[in-house]
Amino acid sequence: MANTKEKVAKFGKFLSGMVMPNIGAFIAWGFLTAIFLKTGWFPNEQLATIIGPMLKYLIPVLIAGQGGYAVAGKRGRVIGSVAVFGAIMGTDYTMLMGAMLMGPLAGWVIKKWDNWAKDWKPAGLEMLVDNFSLGLIGLALCVFGYYGIGPFMGAILAVLTAGVQVLVNNGLMPLLAIFIEPAKVLFLNNAIGNGIFVPIGAEQVKTAGQSMMYMLESNPGPGVGMLVAYWLFCKDQTTKQSAPGAIIIQFFGGIHEIYFPYVLMNPKVIIGPIAGNFVAILLDVMLGLGLTGPASPGSIIAYVSMAPKSQILLVLLDVAAAAVVSFLVSAPIVRRSDAVLDTGDAGTVDSSTAAGVSVDPTAIAAGTIKKIVFACDAGMGSSAMGATRFFKRIREVRPDIDVEHASVDEVPADADVVVCQKMLAERARKSSPATAQVVIIGNFLNDPALDALQTQLTTNYAMQHAAVAATNAASKAIESTPDPDAWNLSNDDIVLGCTTTDKESAIRACGRMLVDRGCVDEGYIDAMIERDREVSVYIGNGVAIPHGTNEAKRFVKKTGVVVLQYPDGVDFDGEKAYVLFGIAGKGDEHLQVLAKIAEALSSEEDAEKLAHASSKDEFLKIIG
């Protein structure tokens, strides 16, 4: 069953992959229709003459070219564009679906030809053979398209269009919601939207100027209503707090994938979006609503932009009705549920070898990671949003890392880390480089696996380089600072044998000592906590250096260093710190202390001695 679902998803993704890169052309055509058609916002008889040719010729050629390119690269794009022209001219129907067939077919034929011809092409005549073969094979496929594919696909479109009309005439269109919403949650949204509804919709727009088909899958209302229910009634606080962000991204960004994990964590809640879409489609039928082009992505902005001028308010009502019904049905289900946002395998950072054997994720050192790829089904929706958000999280510490997005089936060969949702994990592993680290997440907003990845890339990276950076900075400071005693510690600055506590309490204890010694004002303590939240102050070998943010220098009265020793250790996000150096620096004076700390860190043996020193004199002797 899982294998069948994966094959269906890959096929749908392949169809969608021919349409999605050309959505901009659909939008241009949609606006052209909405603005200049005789029933449009600003009717213009001359400009309206572009509408038909753009749909009949330009868009099918673009789709076929993309399909050919996916199979055979640049030569596939050319022959796909040539071949589809026969199908376009062989029927009166718009050949979007014909283009989805002719493009890949032409790419496959030329790829087979090239593989056969490479063994016998005469030296020096390669370009001649390549050009003539592409032209002649393209011509043959063009003729085949005219007499075969065009009439055949035209007949299929006639049957599908008639079938849609039967559903409309018998009031059965709303039942499509029972199929659409569950299929979307299984990541088939691009397949059914771009592979099925867009081609039928384009055919209807050609005669009616608008189509309901564009509204069936892309309506943002059902998903928003369900997310509002989670926001107001979910018992799990993490899930509840993530819902508002998901609402904004789904409603205004049009990334419907953002709400799929909320359904998967509690499958019964799918009833809400089904009910919402059922009501929306019912209103579409009753009011004769439709859009002039695809609403892609499915945001309220795109939805309204593609609405005919006379129907904008009714389209907004349609979305609102879907959201309200979805909310009312989802709310009691969410209220009674104890489900939490399931990350499945998320929370673990997995890396697989070519043989599929899981290995220790820390085998990939943070400093060697140069490219992270967020992957989703089409590579243009949730993955793009996820990549943008994550780059903002790490750019201050790791501007050297490229964060990109891609289709889960087309992960770049130089990816070091691949991030995807649970349902796409197997496909991601198959297409990822053998050495890539695969991070499985439940959602793109508030996921522990993303937090763990961020820690790996920033905190651990900072730990690896902190000693070197401190030593280099301190060396420069020593050269320019005349006071050699600025870094000296005294017995009064050291407290040994502290009772183990939590990280925040330990940092605050360091801050309190600095305040008591007149080194800083009270505000510096909170700045020390904030600094650790930004990037951990744990630097390795059992040592942490709590200090304030750059903005907190206004609280520093004079340079000071204090030491707290915790023989049993303090937990710093999975690492044990046995010695905490609380630091407040006036100018660069504290850097000399960092130099001494870095020097101690260079030897694990000395760091171990610091952790278990039994007297202050012994501690000072070790630190030098």
Domain boundary among 457, 489, 519: 457
| pLDDT for residue 328 | 96
Q: Is 165 exposed, middle or buried (0-12, 13-18, 19+ CB in 10 A)?
A: exposed
**Residue of 380, 30, 414 whose CA lies nearest to 204:** 30
Angle between helices 126-144 and 59-89 (to 10 degrees): 60
| Together in a domain, 558 and 545 | yes
* 567 in a structural domain: yes
* 269 in a structural domain: no
* 138 in a structural domain: no
* 414 in a structural domain: yes
**Residue of 421, 565, 440, 578 whose CA lies nearest to 496:** 565
| Together in a domain, 501 and 530 | yes
| Together in a domain, 404 and 528 | no
Cis before residue 261, ω within 30 degrees of 0? no
| Together in a domain, 480 and 603 | yes
Which of the residues are catalytic? 376, 547
**In angstroms, rounded to a whole number, what is the distance separating the alpha carbons of residues 271 and 261?**
15
| pLDDT for residue 352 | 38
Domain boundary among 401, 435, 457: 457
| Together in a domain, 472 and 447 | no
Domain boundary among 457, 478, 507: 457
| Together in a domain, 445 and 484 | no
Residue 374 structural domain: 349-457
* 512 in a structural domain: yes
| Together in a domain, 428 and 381 | yes
Residue 11 to residues 59, 192, 279, 406, Cα–Cα distance (Å): 21, 11, 30, 17
* 582 in a structural domain: yes
| Together in a domain, 453 and 572 | no
* 221 in a structural domain: no
Note whether 31 and 293 are within 8 A (CB). Answer: yes
For residue 27, the one-letter residue type is: I
| pLDDT for residue 506 | 94
Q: Kindly report the number of other CB atoms within 10 A of residue 93's CB atom.
A: 24
| Together in a domain, 545 and 437 | no
Instruction: Reduce the DSSP state of residue 570 to 3 states and report it.
Output: strand
Please give, one letter per residue, the 3-state secondary structure of 227-266: HHHHHHHCCCHHHHHHHHHHHHHHHHHCCHHHHHHHHHCC
CATH number for the domain spanning 509: value is 3.40.930.10
* 308 in a structural domain: no
| Together in a domain, 496 and 553 | yes
| pLDDT for residue 589 | 59
| Together in a domain, 522 and 428 | no
CATH number for the domain spanning 362: value is 3.40.50.2300
| pLDDT for residue 597 | 65
Domain count, the chain: 2
| Together in a domain, 453 and 472 | no
Which stretches of the chain drop beneath a pLDDT of 70? Answer: 1-13, 15-16, 39, 186-191, 194-195, 338-367, 377-382, 443-446, 459-488, 535, 587-603, 624
